[in-house]
């Protein structure tokens, strides 16, 4: 099933939910204003700074046990750093370690295998494993986007052929930490090209777990490095394979992304259905806590008249 068809089916499900919720509120004759949706159990995502596949297996196992115990599915981003121009390597964050796509695939596969083992007899919870890169180099392209989609598809195919998709418990996506402050003044064009290249593969979706640097926290306007709110919308929702799991590190980030969604609603046919917030409180104690990120983002979106529809709560850690 193509990403476009999957998105359409998911959108219809979300719209149905929104209609039910809105109808319940309007039946009382008031403007919709709802209690904050209960935050899902927190799932850890990781900057991968190791080449040890056993470490990734152990982390996947831990997430599987957590999901089984909480009877809840999760979304996990594994950040493998920036793609190299040869479309065959990434450079891990926090240093200069180069790894091959084959190493990336193996480490992600082992995380998924660990998850499968950790869930044990539980066959109802599902891991959405998003295999991530970033746009920090400034040479992102259609070719690199298509290459990264192939990485996600290779992982999915390996899991299927080796029997770890018995109950559809591993849902493999790509991911990209797209930030306007990175990549120079052509970074929006490059990021859009990457999104188009990924989407052209037709076999995998991806999540943008990036930022909205310099974007307005009220109203419409430009962002850092010549980015526009359209660019943010496009790489996190407008491209056919794109979804958004935005960085909500501070309250202003929630406002920025809410206005990007409002832009989409008013000028692109509909609000963005975000996966949820990504916080970094574990790495930066001055940033929003997981519950703070969830509540702030949910409340801002709801106040703007956009039912948040969020299903995941994620926090970034380091795997080393």
Query: What gap in Å lies between CA 207 and CA 275, rounded to an integer?
Result: 8
Confidence bin at 146 (pLDDT 50/70/90) = very high
Does the pLDDT of residue 6 top 50, yes or no?
Answer: no
Query: What gap in Å lies between CA 284 and CA 305, rounded to an integer?
Result: 31
pLDDT digits (tens, 9 = 90+) for 257-287: 999 999 999 999 999 999 999 999 999 999 9
Query: What gap in Å lies between CA 226 and CA 57, rounded to an integer?
Result: 41
Report the DSSP pairing between strands 82-83 and 74-79. unpaired
Does the pLDDT of residue 35 top 90, yes or no?
Answer: no
Count other Cβ atoms within 10 Å, centred on residue 117: 14
Average pLDDT over residues 103-128: 96
pLDDT digits (tens, 9 = 90+) for 244-258: 999 999 999 999 999
pLDDT digits (tens, 9 = 90+) for 160-208: 999 887 778 999 999 999 999 999 999 999 999 999 999 999 989 999 9
Average pLDDT over residues 142-158: 98
Query: What gap in Å lies between CA 109 and CA 170, rounded to an integer?
Result: 10
Confidence bin at 289 (pLDDT 50/70/90) = very high
In 229-289, the DSSP E strands lie at 242-244, 278-279
Enter the pTM of the model.
0.91
The answer to whether residues 22 and 9 touch, using CB atoms and an 8 Å cutoff, is no
Q: Give the percent of the chain with pLDDT over 90.
A: 84
């Amino acid at each position: 099933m193509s990403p476009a068809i999957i998105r359409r089916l998911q959108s219809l499900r979300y719209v149905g939910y929104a209609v039910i919720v809105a109808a319940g509120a309007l039946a009382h004759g008031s403007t919709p204003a709802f209690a904050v949706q209960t935050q899902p159990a927190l799932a850890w995502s990781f900057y991968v700074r190791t080449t040890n596949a056993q470490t990734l297996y152990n982390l996947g196992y831990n997430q599987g046990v957590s999901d089984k115990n909480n009877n809840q599915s999760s979304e996990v981003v594994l950040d493998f750093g920036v793609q190299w121009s040869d479309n065959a390597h990434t450079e891990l964050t926090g240093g200069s370690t180069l790894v091959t796509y084959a190493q990336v695939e193996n480490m992600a596969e082992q995380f998924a295998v660990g998850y499968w083992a950790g869930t044990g007899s539980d066959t109802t919870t599902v891991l959405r494993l998003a295999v991530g890169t970033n746009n920090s180099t400034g040479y992102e392209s259609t070719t690199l986007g298509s290459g990264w989609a192939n990485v996600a598809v290779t992982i999915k195919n390996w899991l299927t052929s080796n029997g770890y998709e018995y109950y559809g418990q591993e849902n493999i996506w790509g991911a990209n930490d797209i930030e306007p402050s990175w990549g120079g003044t052509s970074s929006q064009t490059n990021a859009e090209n990457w999104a188009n290249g990924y989407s052209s593969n037709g076999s995998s979706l991806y999540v943008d777990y990036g930022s909205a640097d310099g974007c307005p926290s009220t109203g419409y306007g430009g962002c850092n490095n010549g980015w526009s709110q359209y660019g943010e919308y496009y790489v996190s929702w407008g491209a056919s394979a794109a979804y958004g799991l935005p960085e909500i590190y501070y309250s202003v980030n929630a406002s920025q992304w809410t206005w990007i969604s409002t832009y989409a609603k008013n000028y692109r046919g509909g609000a963005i259905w975000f996966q949820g917030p990504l916080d970094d409180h574990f790495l930066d104690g001055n940033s929003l806590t997981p519950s703070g990120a969830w509540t702030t983002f949910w409340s801002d979106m709801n106040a703007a008249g956009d039912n948040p529809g969020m299903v995941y709560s994620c926090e970034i850690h380091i795997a080393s």
